[in-house]
Amino acid sequence: MAKQTKTPRPKAATPKGFRDYFGTDVTERAEMLSRIAEVYDRYGFDALESAAVETVEALGKFLPDHDRPNAGVFAWQEGEEEGKGDWLALRYDLTAPLARVFAQHRNDLPTPYRRYAMGPVWRNEKPGPGRFRQFYQCDADTVGTASMAADAEICAMLADCMEVVGIPRGDYLIRVNNRKVLNGVLDAMGVTEAAQQADVLRTIDKFDKVGEAGVRELLGKGRLDASGAYIDGVGLTEAQITKVLSFLGARDEAILELENGTFSAQPGFMFRSIFTDVDPANYEHFGHRIREMMESEEGRNRLANYAVLSKLKGLVGESLIGLEGVDELAQIGDLLGAQQYGHDRIRIDPSVVRGLGYYTGPVFEAELTFEILDKKGRKRQFGSVAGGGRYDDLVARFTGQSVPAVGVSIGVDRLLAALREKNRMGGEAVGPVVVTVMDRDRMADYQAMVAELRNAGIRAEVYLGNPKNFGNQLKYADKRNSPAAVIEGADEKARGVVQVKDLVLGKKIAENATLEEWKERPSQAEIPRDDLVTHIKALLAGDT
Amino acid sequence: MAKQTKTPRPKAATPKGFRDYFGTDVTERAEMLSRIAEVYDRYGFDALESAAVETVEALGKFLPDHDRPNAGVFAWQEGEEEGKGDWLALRYDLTAPLARVFAQHRNDLPTPYRRYAMGPVWRNEKPGPGRFRQFYQCDADTVGTASMAADAEICAMLADCMEVVGIPRGDYLIRVNNRKVLNGVLDAMGVTEAAQQADVLRTIDKFDKVGEAGVRELLGKGRLDASGAYIDGVGLTEAQITKVLSFLGARDEAILELENGTFSAQPGFMFRSIFTDVDPANYEHFGHRIREMMESEEGRNRLANYAVLSKLKGLVGESLIGLEGVDELAQIGDLLGAQQYGHDRIRIDPSVVRGLGYYTGPVFEAELTFEILDKKGRKRQFGSVAGGGRYDDLVARFTGQSVPAVGVSIGVDRLLAALREKNRMGGEAVGPVVVTVMDRDRMADYQAMVAELRNAGIRAEVYLGNPKNFGNQLKYADKRNSPAAVIEGADEKARGVVQVKDLVLGKKIAENATLEEWKERPSQAEIPRDDLVTHIKALLAGDT
């Protein structure tokens, strides 16, 4: 006999590259984002929440990644009939919607417009281990001002964000670079063609992967990669390559010179926050002050950013764009200095190359400097958790007018992972107190108990499964990570008492207590019913 | 000469039916949700955040609305090539993903599983005024228990949620009904066919629209609607119609009888939380107690839910499903009574019909009872802001096993609107203190000022637009809703002072002050630079 054909059951699975977040994964992220939002708010940034869905036209289909200009968004066409209606897509970041919002509402919004936004974004990319197609971003941007004060403010805010979520000073660094300086260095050495400049950018972006020697080869004639394939080089001369590497290493070199007393400043180059009382025309006096400061450690620290900029000024020579870049960095350094953000928190560092291709001016990155062990047990630094910079062309797509803007994006998942590495976030939540059910007909009594506990602010619940097997109730409490179970059978009810099992202590005892300890600190106590709230409060506070 | 053709600029607009949320629209919602999350957590519910995207297969394509079974989701097909890959869609609610999550992770999750979820959902429907295609839901569900304690707990939690977001006791009611009771009433009158029962349900769901007279006609022979079309009736007899309307009006009738002393209980029907000391077999004693209680207002209040249930018991007669429904409601009433949730907060009310078609057992609704003025200036009650009930078949789609579940969904946008109606949410945020720029070269000084203010916890920013026109800076401060502007020109700098403009007072004065008041309370003060933080703090506290 033929069996009846049935519709097969649907598979209970997330689509590839998507995942579910449970319990503390959700609440810890929410708490972190709410702390960051407080900082953004204090800096005068306003919240903005745009929809997940935009028209493909408004979004622009292109991710801000030049290697994969067509890499995907999730898109579909509107309308009942095929081939009609707008194409819609899920946003791939929070910057493209900001550009649309600013263009759409510019007459109602204040200018400059400072806004923050937090929420999921979607990428239609091949998922991989730990790489998901939906993830959170947390951005702050200032639209409508070219002032470096906006860039400096965002760097300061980023430092504040690190501290407010639990990364102490010393465990993070905000590092600042400027696209214009590299362009200036290249101009100064005669590499003026845009395509070749872009090649240089792409190559130094591989520094972390191939190291200095690899970058040297790739900037020159080329190199054999691990697979045996030959990668063509950019074709710079040895002298040019050395200059590019000097740019990348400008900070290290400047610090070294400061330390061994060989640093000498570029004539006429000022740093207002340090030399408030010096006439820049009077180089003699100025050089004297520098030599004086170099004698103390504190002085050398205060000079550090200045020394880096002085080095960069030497490298860009007469290039106007380069000098503009150095001046922008000097302004940022000065503004941050005035707000007491020293180089222990924010420093100018030309070795930051990530994002140089995308941004048009200053670029910055928040890096966590503490060491963690990687999967193979090797020590490494945690690395970057946020990045941003200045971009000036996004709104022009809509209005034709170029609007200057600068912003930062915090990598929510990486920052959360970092906080867990440092044990600054719990990981496992404390479960509810579980009131067990000894007598199904007295559910109302048990509900009254949890109501009392909740009214005292204690997380509590009644066991709602089948109460027949008491062992299952305790197994459930265990799975819920409950700190305590409450038991009231008919006998206890008659005597006006309840039993309270301390499950945390119980676990500890089960693991490693001696018999003596077991006797001394019983993990179960009989208490008067009226003392329930007081007793549980003490138990949760560790006072029993 | 032919002009060069250009790609037209993209339109800066949200897709139809989507919108942007600014400032307090975002932060007030976030605050409300975080307060609700605290309540959910205290009841032992765990957070769950699933992705926005599900497979169409897992989601099921059908919205829980029988009138529009094909009403839309936003869906698209995976994969580079046409016609290959899974169909994916944006979730249309938070219940369908819960069913998938529970089926997928059931071996790791505790059972019963209490979870809450908050986030946007998407509906591919025709947008209308005030009707959007993306909106927030905020759900709590208990999966894996048939115990009425789960239903009662969710009703109690819903009442707590109302109070914690700022709706005081007396301004809301949780009303509870049960699908099984109506089915029982219909069974008892001989309307046993599922299709006809469904017709009755659909008809009484129109009560709000067509009123009692309209429902009477539609349950009987039919009626002419406003457009002149004749709508066929369900075909019940007069006696049957009267019984259905008795069901809907059971609460009003019971209360009336209690008030005028004519109430008499159904023999043998108990309500444990009231008659703790009475033997249900002893009807005489029991009836005596009821008559005693009816003499005081407090007694009548305590009897109210009992009286309603007693009425319902009369209506369902011998119907097993009906008696089961009445018993479920009695259990819920008892459990809530034990937790001190009186009928001033939660009441059994058969006139709740919304959702009766979708849910399988108890149904509940949170209603705001205060009056507001509608657009035409007429008084009306605010109405429903949350609803839920018991549904038992969602997980079976995946596993073949029916899993009992009960849940609630709070209408986030309606509840926010209600809080605004009652002026319990601010609406307009206090903007940042704006430090104006008198001398572009002294940006570092101004940044130092805002840094001091922020470190004191005060929201503050430097004006970052073009500082040339001072009027524009004050206009900007106005647009930002700033409480104060700080001014430090070269003269002030030299004298070690700053000017502070009280913009709130300034607005008031500009509106309605006499000349005397103007002189007495100048809205601008010159203060020592070192007193900046102290002065602004006092100004914000209203002490200047």
- Answer yes or no: are the C-beta atoms of A164 and A38 closer than 8 Å: yes
Question: Shortest CB distance from A46 goes to which of B22, B110, B400?
Answer: B22
| pLDDT tens string B33-47 | 999 999 999 999 999
Measured CA to CA, the distance from residue A520 to residue A511 in angstroms comes to 16
Q: Which residue of A has its CA nearest to B334?
A: A444
Compare all CA atoms of chain B with the CA of A475 and give the residue at the minimum distance: B110
Interchain CB distance below 8 Å, A13 and B479 = no
Could you read off the pLDDT of B55-64 as tens digits, one per residue? 988 987 554 4
Instruction: Say what the pLDDT of residue B68 is.
Output: 40
Q: For B304-357, what is each residue's pLDDT tens digit?
A: 888 999 999 999 999 999 999 999 999 999 899 888 898 889 999 999 988 777
What percent of chain B lies above the pLDDT cut of 70? Answer: 88
Per-residue model confidence as pLDDT tens for chain A (544 residues): 445 556 678 999 999 999 999 999 999 999 999 999 999 999 999 999 999 999 988 987 554 443 443 358 888 887 655 556 788 999 999 999 999 999 999 999 999 999 999 999 999 888 888 789 999 999 999 999 999 999 999 999 999 999 999 999 999 999 999 999 999 999 999 999 988 998 999 899 888 888 889 999 999 998 888 788 888 899 999 999 999 999 999 999 999 998 888 888 777 666 666 666 666 666 666 777 788 888 888 788 878 888 999 999 999 999 999 999 999 999 999 899 888 898 889 999 999 988 777 899 999 999 999 888 777 878 888 889 999 999 987 888 899 988 999 999 999 999 999 998 877 665 566 899 999 999 988 988 999 999 999 999 999 999 999 999 888 999 999 889 999 999 999 999 999 999 999 988 777 766 666 656 655 666 889 999 999 999 999 998 876 6
Q: Looking at residue B284, what is its pLDDT?
A: 66
Interchain contact, B15 vs A54, CB within 8 Å: yes
Cβ of A120 within 8 Å of Cβ of B52? The answer is yes
Contact criterion met (CB < 8 Å) for A20 and B48 = yes
Q: What is the ipTM of this complex?
A: 0.89
Q: pLDDT confidence of B1, banded at 50, 70, 90?
A: very low
B417-B419-B425-B427 Cα dihedral, nearest 10 degrees: 20
B21/A49 CB distance under 8 A: yes
CA dihedral of B154, B158, B161, B166, whole degrees rounded to 10: -170
* pTM across the whole model: 0.90
- pLDDT tens for each residue of A108-164: 999 999 999 999 999 988 888 878 999 999 999 999 999 999 999 999 999 999 999
pLDDT at A65: 44
Contacts A444 to B, Cβ<8 Å: 272-273, 334-335, 337-338
B136: left (phi over 0), alpha (psi -120 to 50) or beta: beta
Give yes or no for a contact between B544 and B536, defined as CB atoms under 8 angstroms apart.
no
Alpha carbon distance A338, A342 (integer Å): 9
Least confident of A374-378, B362-366, B513-517: B513-517
- Mean pLDDT across the stretch B480-489? 93
- The pLDDT of residue A272 is 65
Q: Could you say which of B24, B44, B152 has the minimum Cβ distance to residue A461?
A: B44
Band the pLDDT of B513: cuts 50, 70, 90. low
How many Å lie between the alpha carbon of A380 and the closest alpha carbon of chain B?
A: 32
Confidence at residue B485, expressed as pLDDT on a 0 to 100 scale: 94
Place B77 in a pLDDT band, splitting at 50, 70 and 90: confident
Average pLDDT for B123-134: 86
Question: φ and ψ at A23, to 5 degrees?
Answer: 50, -120
Q: What angle do CA A531, A533, A537 make, to 5 degrees?
A: 115
Q: Do B457 and A42 touch (CB under 8 A)?
A: yes
Which pLDDT belongs to residue A309? Answer: 92
- Report whether pLDDT(B207) > 50: yes
Q: Indicate if the pLDDT at residue B435 is higher than 90.
A: yes
Query: What pLDDT score was predicted for residue A512?
Result: 67
Using a pLDDT cut of 90, give the percent of chain B over it: 56
* Distance between CA atoms of residues B480 and B458, nearest Å: 15
CA dist., res. A442 & res. A220, Å (int)? 83
Which residues in chain B are closer than 8 Å to A52, comparing Cβ atoms? Answer: 52, 90, 120, 122, 134
Residues of chain B with C-beta less than 8 angstroms from the C-beta of A337: 444
Q: What is the pLDDT of residue B63?
A: 47
Answer whether B468's CB lies under 8 Å from B517's CB. no
Report the 3 state secondary structure along A283-332: HHHHHHHHHHHCCCHHHHHHHHHHHHHHHHHHHHCCCHHHHHHHHHHHHH
Q: How far does the CA of residue A274 sit from the closest CA of chain B (Å)?
A: 12
pLDDT recorded at residue A441: 87
Task: Give contacts of A21 with chain B, Cβ < 8 Å.
Answer: 47-50
Radius of gyration in angstroms for the set of CA atoms belonging to chain B, rounded to a whole number: 31
Per-residue pLDDT band at B5 (split at 50, 70, 90):
low
In B, minimum Cα distance to A100 occurs at B12
Residue A443 burial (CB count, 10 A): 22
Query: Number of CB pairs < 8 Å for A and B?
Result: 293
